């Protein structure tokens, strides 16, 4: 009987691994396909204002940036691309923001087809859902949330944009920026005033500031968390541990940097604008990518703080990228347990699985390694200051889109590096590795354990 049970567990485990690997590959291929199609559309002559079409590399860079909801751009969106080009970009953002898999499942649902088990498990991996069940319900919930929130955002901002740009353009702007903000994409059309200026001309406009911030936060907290909030309303104690961790970490990561920015930056601004700017620049690096302040005028310490926030990123199962709030929270909790000489890391009276701690460490290492290697290489290759290059790689890997202004001047190799980092940041490092590395069944657990001193 024991043999049988063991065999059964073994088979289930293998099947699970097998299913995962395939899901990972499907997710990656889906993103790649959409990026490639987007690139082709952007090379069309009617995609640019000058009627020449973009070079393939620029189109690929922009398409990757849109699908990976990053917002780094080699050309200013408003002044370089035609309305058709902008519409393509917006379409890519919407697909990328919801996730390629969610979109494909949604299409399947609407066309009345049956959702296969494969699609369910891929969807589960893709939105980091805790179980396979309820995928159809979850997809419907995501779609409803996305369109409802984006509609509200557009309605809130429309009056300001209509006042500034006339009715048609104003409505288009409200729609574009609402989608871009909710998807944490960071693309904007305000460069029409002065290229690459992002939202700096709206720095003291409360409606635009508050709406965009709200959209960013809602989008970056993740569908799973909203589903939890919807189900349990204001009964915080009934939320899943993950939802609690996400909400608390997000609040801390917005409040603390805002205080720093308020006291150590923006001292030349009037009080109201200073408050708005501190808050906005604290919300945007994880992983929205709009800015209302001139980032090059901030202190280097402030820029470094932004780099840290960019690397941390948003929450899992959301429109955001980066290492994720939960990753950093798990590492902190584990460290706290080590410091107190307790046995176990925990949050809200729930133990954190050992696997999550190890995975979080691996993710931290991957992000730090790629961030540093990319930044050092670009700094050396382009002969630009290291901090500017690191800011750029953190922005790419966190799918943020903020820049100290070096993106348009980069050479081919650096552009390709950033394309790779954006893809890595959106799809997720582990998804890529699990898709590429065949799972070997050598477990290493047969080896005897031996002490090793660290620190």
Please choose which of a copy of itself, K ion, none residue 437 contacts, taking the beta carbon within 5 to 8 angstroms, the exact cut-off set by kind.
a copy of itself
Nearer to a copy of itself, 104 or 379 (CB): 379
Nearest distance in Å: CB 62, a copy of itself: 26
* CB neighbour list of residue 360: distance below 8 Å, 6 or more residues apart: 326, 327, 328, 330, 331, 334
Token pair of 134 as six digits: 């309820």
Preceding amide of 194 cis, omega within 30: no
Interface characters, 118-147, with a copy of itself (x: CB under 8 A): ----------x-x-----------------
| C-beta of residue 24 within 8 angstroms of C-beta of residue 431 | yes
Nearest distance in Å: CB 288, a copy of itself: 20
In this chain, which of 114, 233, 235, 340 binds a copy of itself, going by CB under 8 A?
340
Residues from 272 through 331 that contact a copy of itself (CB under 8 A): 299-301, 303-305, 308, 316-317, 323-324, 326-327, 330-331
In this chain, which of 350, 409, 411, 413 binds a copy of itself, going by CB under 8 A?
350
Nearest distance in Å: CB 428, a copy of itself: 6
Q: Does 455 bind a copy of itself (CB under 8 A)?
A: yes
In this chain, which of 203, 357, 406, 421 binds a copy of itself, going by CB under 8 A?
357
Q: Does 112 bind a copy of itself (CB under 8 A)?
A: no
Convert 35-56 to b/e letters by CB count within 10 Å (16 or more is b).
Answer: beebbebbbeeebbeeeebbee
Nearest distance in Å: CB 275, a copy of itself: 21
Nearer to a copy of itself, 81 or 347 (CB): 347
**Cα three-residue angle 85-86-92, rounded to 5 degrees:** 90
Q: Which DSSP string corresponds to 51-64?
A: SS---HHHHHHHHH
Of 252, 243, 393, whose CA–CA distance to 310 is shortest?
A: 393
Please choose which of K ion, a copy of itself, none residue 255 contacts, taking the beta carbon within 5 to 8 angstroms, the exact cut-off set by kind.
none
Nearer to K ion, 187 or 434 (CB): 187
Nearer to a copy of itself, 154 or 310 (CB): 310
**Whole-number Å distance between alpha carbons of 126 and 26:** 10
Q: Does 237 bind a copy of itself (CB under 8 A)?
A: no
Dihedral of CA atoms 153, 319, 243, 229 in degrees, nearest 10, equals: 30
Q: Strand, helix or coil at 323?
A: coil
**Whole-number Å distance between alpha carbons of 261 and 272:** 14
Q: Does 261 bind a copy of itself (CB under 8 A)?
A: no
Nearer to a copy of itself, 41 or 352 (CB): 352
In this chain, which of 332, 405, 416, 420 binds a copy of itself, going by CB under 8 A?
332
Backbone phi and psi for residue 128, each to the nearest 5 degrees, phi listed first: 55, 40
| C-beta of residue 304 within 8 angstroms of C-beta of residue 387 | yes
**Whole-number Å distance between alpha carbons of 29 and 34:** 9
DSSP at 343: S
Q: What Å distances lie between residue 39 and 116, 186, 212, 267, CA to CA?
A: 30, 18, 27, 42
Using the contact rule CB under 8 A, the part of the chain among 37-45, 109-117, 164-172, 335-343 near a copy of itself is 335-343
Q: Does 353 bind a copy of itself (CB under 8 A)?
A: yes
Backbone phi and psi for residue 55, each to the nearest 5 degrees, phi listed first: -65, 155
Residues from 420 through 439 that contact a copy of itself (CB under 8 A): 428-430, 433-434, 437, 439
Q: Strand, helix or coil at 47?
A: helix
Q: How many residues bind a copy of itself (CB under 8 A)?
A: 84
Nearest distance in Å: CB 357, a copy of itself: 7
Q: Please give the biggest Cα pair distance in the chain.
A: 76
Nearest distance in Å: CB 352, K ion: 28
Beta bridge partners of 350: 347
In this chain, which of 360, 394, 404, 427 binds a copy of itself, going by CB under 8 A?
360
In this chain, which of 3, 4, 267, 349 binds a copy of itself, going by CB under 8 A?
349
Q: Does 235 bind a copy of itself (CB under 8 A)?
A: no
In this chain, which of 37, 108, 207, 376 binds a copy of itself, going by CB under 8 A?
376
Contacts with K ion, residue ranges (CB under 5 A): 70-71, 184, 186, 287, 289, 400-401
Please choose which of K ion, a copy of itself, none residue 71 contacts, taking the beta carbon within 5 to 8 angstroms, the exact cut-off set by kind.
K ion
């Amino acid at each position: 009987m024991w043999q049988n049970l063991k065999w059964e567990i073994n088979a289930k485990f293998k099947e699970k691994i097998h299913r995962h690997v395939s899901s990972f590959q499907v997710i990656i291929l889906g993103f790649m396909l959409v990026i490639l199609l987007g690139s082709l559309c952007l090379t069309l002559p009617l995609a640019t204002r000058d009627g020449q079409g973009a070079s393939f590399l620029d189109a690929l860079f922009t398409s990757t940036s849109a699908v990976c909801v990053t917002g780094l751009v080699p050309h200013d969106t408003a002044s370089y691309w035609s309305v058709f080009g902008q519409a393509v970009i917006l379409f890519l953002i919407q697909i990328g923001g919801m996730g390629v898999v969610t979109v494909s499942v949604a299409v399947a649902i609407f066309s009345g087809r049956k959702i296969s088990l494969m699609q369910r498990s891929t969807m589960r991996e893709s939105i980091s859902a805790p179980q396979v069940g309820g995928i159809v319900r979850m997809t419907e919930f995501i779609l409803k949330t996305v369109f409802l929130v984006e509609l509200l955002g557009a309605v809130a901002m429309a009056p300001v944009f209509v006042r500034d740009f006339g009715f048609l353009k104003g409505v288009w702007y409200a729609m574009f920026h609402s989608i871009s903000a909710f998807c944490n994409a960071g693309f904007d059309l305000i460069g029409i005033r002065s290229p690459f200026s992002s939202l700096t001309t709206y720095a003291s406009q409360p409606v635009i500031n508050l709406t965009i911030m709200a959209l960013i936060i809602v989008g970056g907290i993740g569908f799973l968390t909203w589903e939890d909030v919807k189900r349990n309303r204001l009964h915080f104690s009934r939320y899943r541990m993950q939802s609690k961790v996400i909400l608390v970490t997000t609040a801390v990561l917005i409040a603390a940097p805002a205080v720093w920015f308020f006291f150590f930056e923006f001292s030349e601004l009037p009080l109201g604008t200073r408050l708005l700017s501190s808050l906005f620049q604290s919300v945007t690096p994880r992983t929205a990518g709009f800015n209302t302040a001139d980032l090059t005028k901030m202190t280097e310490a402030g820029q470094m703080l932004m780099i840290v926030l960019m690397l941390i990123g948003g929450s899992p199962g959301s429109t955001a990228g980066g290492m994720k709030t939960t990753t950093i929270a798990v590492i902190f909790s584990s460290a706290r347990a080590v410091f107190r000489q307790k046995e176990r890391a925990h949050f809200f009276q729930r133990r954190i699985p050992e696997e999550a701690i190890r995975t979080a460490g691996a993710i931290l290492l991957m992000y730090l390694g790629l961030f540093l290697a990319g930044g050092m290489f670009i700094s050396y290759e382009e002969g630009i200051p290291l901090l500017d290059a690191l800011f750029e790689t953190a922005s790419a890997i966190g799918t943020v889109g903020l820049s100290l202004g070096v993106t348009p001047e980069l050479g081919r190799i650096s552009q390709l590096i950033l394309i790779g980092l954006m893809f890595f940041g959106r799809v997720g490092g582990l998804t890529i590795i699990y898709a590429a590395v065949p799972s070997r069944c050598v477990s290493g657990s047969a080896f005897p354990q031996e002490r090793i001193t660290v620190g």
